[in-house]
Amino acid sequence: DTAVSQTPKYLVTQMGNDKSIKCEQNLGHDTMYWYKQDSKKFLKIMFSYNNKELIINETVPNRFSPKSPDKAHLNLHINSLELGDSAVYFCASSQGDSRNTIYFGEGSWLTVV
Three-state DSSP string of 2-44: CCEEEECCEEEECCCCCEEEEEEECCCCCEEEEEEECCCCCEE
Which range, of 17-25, 43-51, 62-70, 79-87, touches another protein by CB under 8 A? 43-51
Smallest distance from the beta carbon of 7 to another protein, in angstroms?
Answer: 14
Report 21-40 residues binding another protein (CB under 8 A).
40
Smallest distance from the beta carbon of 58 to another protein, in angstroms?
Answer: 7
Report 61-90 residues binding another protein (CB under 8 A).
90
- For 4-38, letters b (16+ CB in 10 Å) and e give bebeeeebebeeeeebebbbbbeeebbbbbbbbbe
- List contacts with another protein (CB under 8 A): 4, 40-45, 48, 50, 55-56, 58, 90, 92, 97-99, 101-107
